[in-house]
A and B are shown apart, each in its own frame.
Chain A
Amino acid sequence: MALIVDHNKALSTSPLKVSAPLGAALAFMGMKGCLPMFHGSQGCTAFALVMMVRHFREAIPLQTTAMNEISTILGGMDQVEEGLLNIAKRAKPEIIGLISTALTETRGEDMAGDVKVIRARNKELADIAVVDVSAPDFSGSLETGWGKAVTAIIKSLAKPSGNHAKLDRVNLLPGAHLTPGDVEALKDIIADFGLEAMVLPDLSDSLDGHVPDAYTPTTLGGTAVAQVREMGRARLTIAIGEHMRIAAKTAETITGVPSVVLDRVTGLDAVDRLMVCLSTVAGVPVPARQRRARSQLVDAMLDGHFYFGGRSIAIAAEPALLWSMGKLATDMGATVAAAVTTQPVPMLAELKAERIIVGDFEDLEDQILEAGGADLIIANSNGRQVAAHHGIPLFRAGFPVFDRLGAAHLTSAGYRGTRDLITQLGNILMERPGHAHQQSEHAHGHQSAAAG
């Protein structure tokens, strides 16, 4: 059991947290023909855009209402209207995600009300879905904004199934901690059960890194508006990550499709739960391919546990990723020596760690020092200063990862993804003797590997 400590510091140093509107924009990147727009000043968009570009190494369509001094005083409805009309004309999107920011929320803009009025008086917006999301920067983090955006998309587009027959389909609501690679892996798993997946949002179709045949001013792919409208025809909605619970409930209320929230899809027991869930809804036994993958994961755990046992790992990540990585590390026999996250999510108390600090990279560093060091840090690229300073290897995960190739393809979902993750982490640990081994005197028979 971990104690969750909210540091509530006046000064945040080297923040782990990125803002909720960024999370919302990221979710809209998984919608097809989409162009999200921040309702705020230019910088709100510029920072988020640059960060996503650096992480995915892809073009990121994202616009701004470009609030200025006058509209900040008088109100930004005109800016919203002009912005929507400009986007409609220039980019011809299927859907626009309109995301509030700290600036417009502090002002007290009625964005939802304004959008209704604007849509009523502008026929050119009739064929474009406009989804407004309230996600001020001053509350929550990336995960919060992602969850809010998915909920808003469902609220605005999903419909009850009506008289339509059910299809062999599940709705998949992946959390913000899942990469395009993870989503792709989950789609494959679902397909193995003879089911089709309606993924909302589907980054594996838009930010997986591919080269389209022509220029497009909107997202390169993703979930179509029409697919979301058909959510009601699925047999089950599976949400992954605690922060997707509200989205799942909303979908269930609107469409009548039952929903289940899985806390994670990394780790043997977690993936087992996913398999049972899919097997039940599909009415078929777990397919041979997945049984074989499970057996491979079991083998990887047997081979890998030597290198995790007794090692101390520091993790700085958003709650869902911290949960997923922290569980895997402790499942494999490592200890979580330091843990920092962005929000006090109660479930995290169940992680085997002494404390989880709601804080920043300075807190991570202090905790590592207190613990007398760590063998490995798992964090986004902003963890590199702490890692370099203390000579601890950094395994990059989460958002943003801008100093490595392939952030979008890191896969930790499913049996195979878990196996790959164990391999990667295990290899780093195998390469280094680590402070835990130096401190404890027990020789484990790995000196030869460690010396290399």
Chain B
Amino acid sequence: MLKAKIAELMHEPGCATNQAKSEGERKKGCGKSLTPGAAAGGCAFDGAKIALQPITDVVHLVHGPIACEGNSWDGRNSWSSGSDLYRKGFTTDLTNLDIIAGGEKKLYKAIKQAIARHNPPAVFVYQTCVGSLIGDDVDAVCRAATQRLGTPVIPINSPGFVGSKNLGNRLGGEALFEHVIGTVEPDDAGPCDINILGEYNVAGELDQFRPLLARLGIRLRASITGDARYREVAACHTARANMVLCSQALVTLARKMKEKWGIPYFEGSFYGISDTSDALRNIARMLVERGADPTLTDRTEALIAEEEAKAWARLEPYKARLAGRKVLLYTGGVKSWSVIQALQEVGMEVVGSSVRKATEADKSKALERLGGDEDKLADAITPRDMYAMFKDGKADMMLSGGRSQFVALKARTPWIDINQERHHGYAAYDGMVALVREIDLSINSPIWAQVRAPAPWENS
């Protein structure tokens, strides 16, 4: 079952990378085997949990030994405007005895206790390596629990060893498609309803574009999965259009929703001023094509003009402070090309950008924005090389996720977090201003002069 699903996910026709491959290459699938002793990144379980945990009102129950949940719960910075149940860590904490005796009964009991205590609209059960190795049938336990306990219990088959974090994202999307979406019929479906896929409400980013949509009369039926409620996701099949933010993670889900419910989708981004405007235009166009009031197009253009002008005015003072500064961009999920353009818009120079997790289309967009300079596109940069870039003055600052921050900081180089643990939302017009403000605060911080100067006794 799982095997077939993974093979299917590896052959995603909606995936541009896959389409660009030859028949032979495509057969091999896209499961890059990872190099022992030289690999970094999460596992499939990690990916599934990242994709689904932002559903705030369900119990996310991890079936495995303590490492999988004990070492990671409440570590992500997805915000909620309601329930905080998703911030509790739930696990069966499998011990020696469970591994010998099997963990199915314990899992069932755990589900029962979670429902009794928290009364959630659903329980999501994550299968991990060990549960899978000892043969616990999570699907069967979830089925039985759903029947007997009267609450949907959703299996997410995501043992870590089946692949990367990205595969896990997609397995999470599969679980939603198979068990959740379409199970609740809303009575208020409207012509301006959309879903957004691959948005996790990191640092409250939804609130940077949800109000823009609201001003146009567009309703976010469901964000999948940032700040989502279970019932919203379950009823999201009535939306008129889907926007896919993180296409690598959830394009398969978008494609399947199109096939099953006829919901068209487009891939876009809310990072950067022009990309935000493009996204709004695309949403409006799709809704109008599907029968929304045609004046939506003009209203959207008016809103874009107003918001862009405001954002540019707010960015103006930063231009002089940032012009010509050289940035190294080392991102995971955030769309590199959007950020590249955003930084260029305030006069910074992007000296390098990783495209480790980018699709071919993303890569070519990034390349175009970097003036076609292939040298600036890096797959992965080793920490040693990164350190050298800072020491040699080839880059003045780095934008990356938290793990590589110390390569910059130990080289006494400014750094800001643009990954999922960050504390500032960088989406849409307001977010762009926030990002530039953070960059300015960091690169122009008064500390650099002092921390870079040698101790007085070293001057000779």
Chain A contacts to B: CB under 8 angstroms = 9-15, 17-19, 21-22, 37, 40-44, 46-51, 53-54, 57-59, 63-69, 71-72, 79-80, 82-87, 90, 101-103, 106-107, 136-139, 141, 211-212, 215, 217, 362, 382, 385
Contact = CB atoms under 8 A, between A and B. Distances in A.
B33 A11 contact: no
A64 B130 contact: no
Contacts of A18: 66-67, 70-71
A24 to B, nearest CB: 12
Given A15-B66, A21-B67, A48-B71, A42 B160 contact: yes
What 10 A-B pairs have minimum CB-CB distances, sorted nearest first? A43-B43, A86-B37, A83-B36, A83-B37, A10-B109, A19-B67, A41-B160, A59-B406, A11-B110, A215-B387
A42 B34 contact: yes
Contact of A385 (B43, B87, B160): B87
Nearest to B98: A138
Contacts of B411: 215
A151 B120 CA distance: 45
Nearest to B93: A12
A102 B106 contact: no
A66 B410 contact: no
Contacts of B95: 138-139
A43 B129 CA distance: 10
A382 B106 CA distance: 25
Given A84-B37, A215-B407, A217-B384, A11 B71 contact: no
Interface string B173-214: 000000000000000000000000000000000000000000
A22 B44 CA distance: 19
A42 B110 contact: no
B405 to A, nearest CB: 8
Given A12-B93, A87-B38, 19 more contacts: A12-B89, A14-B88, A18-B70, A18-B71, A22-B71, A42-B40, A43-B165, A44-B67, A46-B46, A46-B165, A50-B72, A51-B75, A59-B410, A65-B37, A83-B37, A137-B66, A137-B67, A139-B95, A362-B88
Contact of A138 (B34, B65, B161): B65
Nearest to B64: A102
A179 to B, nearest CB: 19
B39 A42 contact: yes
Nearest to B116: A11
B384 A65 contact: no
Nearest to A104: B129
B129 A72 contact: yes
A19 B65 contact: yes
B19 to A, nearest CB: 25
Contacts of A211: 410, 412
Contacts of B388: 215
Interface in B372-392: 383-384, 387-388
B109 A106 contact: no
Contacts of B114: 11, 13
Contacts of B38: 63, 86-87, 90
A137 B37 contact: no
Contacts of A49: 403
Contacts of A215: 383-384, 387-388, 407, 410-411
A170 to B, nearest CB: 32
Contacts of A68: 33-34, 161-163
A43 B92 contact: no
B429 interface: no
Contact of B161 (A67, A217, A362): A67
A22 B69 CA distance: 13
B16 interface: no
A50 B96 contact: no
A72 B73 contact: no
Contacts of A80: 36
Contacts of A22: 67, 71
Contacts of A21: 67
A43 B99 contact: no
Contacts, number: 217
Nearest to B6: A69
A103 B162 contact: no
A13 B65 contact: no
Given A106-B133, A107-B133, A12 B90 contact: yes
B74 interface: yes
A66 B164 CA distance: 10
Contacts of A101: 67
A88 to B, nearest CB: 8
Nearest to A15: B70
19 contacts: A12-B91, A15-B91, A43-B44, A44-B67, A50-B72, A50-B403, A51-B75, A64-B37, A71-B161, A72-B129, A86-B38, A102-B64, A102-B65, A102-B94, A103-B133, A103-B161, A106-B99, A215-B407, A385-B87
A14 B37 contact: no
A12 B68 CA distance: 13
Given A11-B90, A46-B43, A103-B161, A63 B37 contact: yes
Interface in B1-55: 33-46
B75 A137 contact: no
B106 to A, nearest CB: 5
B75 A54 contact: yes
Given A48-B71, A66-B35, A211-B412, A13 B90 contact: yes
A127 B323 CA distance: 50
A12 B92 contact: yes
Given A19-B67, A72-B161, A212 B91 contact: no
Contacts of B72: 47, 50-51
A204 B369 CA distance: 46
A47 B129 contact: no
B97 to A, nearest CB: 9
Interface in B85-144: 87-96, 98-99, 106-107, 109-111, 113-114, 117, 129-130, 133-134
A85 B91 CA distance: 36
Nearest to B134: A106
A49 B113 CA distance: 31
B75 A139 contact: no
B61 interface: yes
Interface string B314-356: 0000000000000000000000000000000000000000000
B113 A138 contact: no
Contact of A15 (B46, B84, B93, B412): B93
Contacts of B84: 385
Interface centre among B38, B41, B84, B117 (most CB of A within 10 A): B38
Contacts of B96: 136, 138-139
B161 A14 contact: no
Given A47-B46, A51-B72, A37 B130 contact: no
Contacts of B36: 63-66, 79-80, 82-83, 86
B150 interface: no
Nearest to A22: B71
B262 interface: no
A107 B132 CA distance: 11
Interface in B154-173: 159-165
A60 B36 CA distance: 17
Given A14-B89, A106-B133, A41 B43 contact: yes
